[in-house]
Amino acid sequence: MVLTAPMPGSIFITGASAGIGEALALEFAKRRYAVAIAARRAEKLQALQARLVACGAARALAVPLDVTDFAAIPAALERAAQAFGRLDIVVANAGVAFVTPVGKGRFEQARTTVEVNLLGAMATIEAAVPILRAQGGGQVVGITSVAGWRGLPGTGAYSVSKAGLHRYLQSLRAEVHREAIVVTELSPGYIDTELNRGVGRRPFVIPVEKGAAIMARMIERKVGYRTVPVLPWSLIGPLLGLLPTALLAPRGEAGARGGGRSSF
């Protein structure tokens, strides 16, 4: 009798046209998964789809999707599930990050941040869970951030979106505790992507390819919660909540003038 290794499964990743999502898709392609990539930029998805096949993906499917079009998400997931036969992993990764100091006329950017990062992730997970239940199980992965541990000047909308998703994933984990559904939360520190390259200081930044490899290993191990990387962020993160506000406050108006993108 010849024993063969189990075939890798299938994965659906939102926000896959750039940054962590793109790198994660390429990493899972190298691991021979069937990879469905979803994002707003259709032309980038098509180019990435070809790269996934070249990297070794069992199959690659491009699904144009804006996660703030909440009504479109169930059909996008169903399309991937039908194409692959099942969805083993659904990754709610789509995200934006803006500097949004309060009272500086940036409310529209703040609203977009919450709609994409929090409501878009919730809508993705809401649509994914019935599919996972119907097929007998699977895994939901939410990408949060160590920025969710503490509200920092200029990034209130980003911090609240990630803190909100953290609590949502905790609630989901409790709801499906007795089901064959794994809930994984990955909380990155600084990973080198276009979202944070405009930031002056990026302590402990790591290349996006390294971050994606770490995350893929954690997803395959079906961890509950991890920072990315584990060290030093698992030690530093909890300390953020203990820092006096005076140490975080910007000096004068200089700290509240930025208008570009920023995030952990």
- Is 239 contained in some domain? no
Phi-psi region of 64 (alpha: psi -120 to 50; beta: other; left: phi over 0): beta
Distance CA 163, CA 64 (A): 27
Distance CA 249, CA 151 (A): 11
Q: Please give the residue range of the domain that contains residue 192.
A: 10-231
- Is 22 contained in some domain? yes
- Is 14 contained in some domain? yes
Model pLDDT, residue 263: 36
What pTM, to 2 d.p., does this model score? Answer: 0.92
- Is 251 contained in some domain? no
Beta strand pairing status for 138-143 and 89-92? parallel
**Which CATH number do you get for residue 103?**
3.40.50.720
- Is 5 contained in some domain? no
Q: How far is CA 185 from CA 42, 139, 172, 195, 227, in A?
A: 27, 11, 11, 20, 9
Three-class secondary structure assignment of the chain:
CCCCCCCCCEEEEECCCCHHHHHHHHHHHHCCCEEEEEECCHHHHHHHHHHHHHHCCCEEEEEECCCCCHHHHHHHHHHHHHHHCCCCEEEECCCCCCCCCCCCCCHHHHHHHHHHHHHHHHHHHHHHHHHHHHCCCEEEEEECCHHHHCCCCCCHHHHHHHHHHHHHHHHHHHHCCCCCEEEEEEEECCEECCCCCCCCCCCCCEEHHHHHHHHHHHHHCCCCEEEECCCCHHHHHHHHCCCCHHHHCCCCCHHHCCCCCCCC
pLDDT in tens, the chain (264 residues): 433 345 689 999 999 999 999 999 999 999 999 999 999 999 999 999 999 999 999 999 999 999 999 999 999 999 999 999 999 999 999 999 999 999 999 999 999 999 999 999 999 999 999 999 999 999 999 999 999 999 989 999 999 999 999 999 999 999 999 999 999 999 999 999 888 877 768 889 999 999 999 999 999 999 999 999 999 999 998 888 888 999 888 875 444 333 444 333
Judge contact between 144 and 166, C-beta under 8 A.
Answer: yes
Q: How far is CA 11 from CA 58, 76, 89, 194, in A?
A: 11, 13, 5, 24
Domain total of the chain: 1
- Is 263 contained in some domain? no
Whole-number CA gyration radius for the chain: 18
Distance CA 15, CA 66 (A): 9
- Is 242 contained in some domain? no
Model pLDDT, residue 111: 98
- Is 162 contained in some domain? yes
Beta strand pairing status for 138-143 and 181-188? parallel
- Catalytic residue chosen out of the listed positions 33, 158, 168, 190: 158
Distance CA 42, CA 56 (A): 21
**In this structure, what are the phi and psi dihedrals at residue 113, rounded to the nearest 5 degrees?**
-60, -45
CA-based max dimension of the chain: 74
Model pLDDT, residue 6: 53
> Is 158 assigned a catalytic role?
yes
